[in-house]
Chains A and B, each alone.
Chain A
């Protein structure tokens, strides 16, 4: 899966337009990245990549790239 495809998964999850996200974008600057989105992220990562996110890992995310780095596919 390419980096763009991974970003597209996140854009779809956050209901953003294609191309809205880049790896260096700060998560704090994304209004849609709220508690519900974090729950969606947990499900997405488990369904698509078999990665189980904990609360601590999620709290440690600063940029979109931090999430993309865990998308091992």
Chain B
């Protein structure tokens, strides 16, 4: 029997590792043989996910990705303590809803920091000499909001559209090292973020749209994790600079 998504021995960084998708991704990667290095702001939750990882050689770091200026030192520390990386999954992010008239510059910067700037800074630092193996793979969680307009999502959509634009530039910058960079674009995923939406914004256009248009049902976190694992694995060896929709038909149906 073969496993095309085998990640044995590969060291992979996962940010936002305690969120719905980050947690599922970390656990799956460990089951596929990877050494998972998790990063998140919530220490207790990190310990909990850490205890659910299969195999050994894993590590976790408590860090607030909004501290962009400290990312360089964090990456240096991780590489010194764990060794160079073969992959990076950016699962960190926030998805606030804020009507246009209440969206100010500082609100946009907050979202950009969490969803975009931290990603670019990590990629900048982690792809330096001796920190990332050649032909490694980077995957970022984008969103259908990158290509589809949504009410009250100006900052969020901007951050995800920028993210997808950035990955296409990163592959050019990282061409010599043959590092692959891709993103995935989920819509509604069954995470804590999703349930709090339903709770906080009932009867809004967005929730109604989800219930009607994502006709294949809400995406489960494991389905997102599977796609990330695929893109990190050698099964996707020549897939780069692309964004894969995982939206249950939402944007095309």
The distance from the CB of B194 to the nearest CB of chain A, in whole angstroms, is 14
Within 8 A of A (CB), among B97-139: 97-99, 101-102
Partner of B98, one of A38, A43, A54, A58: A43
Q: Does A47 contact B (CB under 8 A)?
A: yes
Interface size on B, residues (CB 8 A): 15
Q: Does B80 contact A (CB under 8 A)?
A: no
The answer to whether B99 touches A40 (Cβ under 8 A) is yes
Within 8 A of B (CB), among A35-73: 35-36, 38-40, 42-44, 47, 53-55, 58-59
Which residues of A have CB within 8 Å of B201?
38-39, 42, 55
The answer to whether B102 touches A47 (Cβ under 8 A) is yes
Q: Does B199 contact A (CB under 8 A)?
A: yes
Interface SS majority for chain A = helix
* Residue of B with least CB distance to A59: B202
- Interface residue range, chain A: 10 to 19
Which residues of A have CB within 8 Å of B198?
55
Which residues of A have CB within 8 Å of B151?
36, 39
A35 to B209, CA, bound (A): 13
* Residue of B with least CB distance to A42: B200
Which residues of B have CB within 8 Å of A58?
202
* Residue of A with least CB distance to B204: A35
* Residue of A with least CB distance to B205: A35
Contact with A along B176-216 (1 / 0, CB 8 A): 00000000000000000000001111111100000000000
Which 6 A-B residue pairs are closest in the complex by CB-CB distance? Answer: A55-B202, A35-B204, A40-B99, A43-B102, A35-B203, A43-B98
6 A-B pairs besides A35-B204, A40-B102 with CB distance below 8 A are: A36-B99, A36-B205, A39-B201, A40-B101, A47-B102, A58-B202
Task: Give 23 A-B contacts (CB < 8 Å), ordered by A residue.
Answer: A35-B203, A35-B204, A36-B99, A36-B152, A36-B204, A36-B205, A38-B201, A38-B203, A39-B97, A39-B151, A39-B204, A40-B102, A42-B201, A43-B98, A43-B99, A53-B200, A54-B199, A54-B200, A55-B199, A55-B200, A55-B203, A58-B202, A59-B202
